[in-house]
Amino acid sequence: MIDISNNNSTKQEVQGNLLSPLPVVLVGAQVNNKPNYLVIGYMCPFNFGKHIFFSLYNVRYTRKGIHDNMTFSVNIPSENLIEQTQLCGTKSGRDIDKSAIFDTFYGELKTAPMISQCPINIECEVTEILDYTPNEGIIGRVVKSYADTQYLTEGKLDWRKVHPILWATGGDYNYYKLGDRIIQDNG
Ligand SMILES: Cc1cc2nc3c(=O)[nH]c(=O)nc-3n(C[C@H](O)[C@H](O)[C@H](O)COP(=O)(O)O)c2cc1C
The answer to whether residue 8 sits within a structural domain is no
Please count the structural domains in the chain: 1
Centre of ligand 1 to C-alpha 38, Å, is: 5
The answer to whether residue 1 sits within a structural domain is no
Domain boundaries, position 103: 22-176
The answer to whether residue 40 sits within a structural domain is yes
The answer to whether residue 99 sits within a structural domain is yes
Please indicate, yes or no, whether the overall pTM of this predicted structure exceeds 0.85: yes
The answer to whether residue 183 sits within a structural domain is no
Whether residue 72 has its Cβ less than 6 Å from ligand 1: no
Question: What pLDDT is attached to residue 184?
Answer: 82
pLDDT, mean of residues 1-13? 74
Confidence of residue 9 (pLDDT cuts 50, 70, 90): confident
Centre of ligand 1 to C-alpha 131, Å, is: 18
Question: What pLDDT is attached to residue 185?
Answer: 75
pLDDT, mean of residues 118-135? 98
The answer to whether residue 28 sits within a structural domain is yes
CA 87 to chain centre: 15
The answer to whether residue 161 sits within a structural domain is yes
The closest-lying atom of ligand 1 relative to the alpha carbon of residue 54 is: 8
**pLDDT at residue 48 greater than cutoff 90:** yes
CATH code, 143: 2.30.110.10
Residue nearest to atom 9 of ligand 1 (CA): 56
Query: Which residues 6+ apart lie within 8 Å of 120 measured at CB?
Result: 75, 76, 145, 146, 147, 151, 157, 162
Q: Are 62 and 27 in contact (CB under 8 A)?
A: yes
On average, the pLDDT of the chain sits at: 95
Whether residue 21 has its Cβ less than 6 Å from ligand 1: no
Residues across the chain: 187
Whether residue 89 has its Cβ less than 6 Å from ligand 1: yes
Q: How far apart are CA 160 and CA 167, in angstroms?
A: 17
The answer to whether residue 142 sits within a structural domain is yes
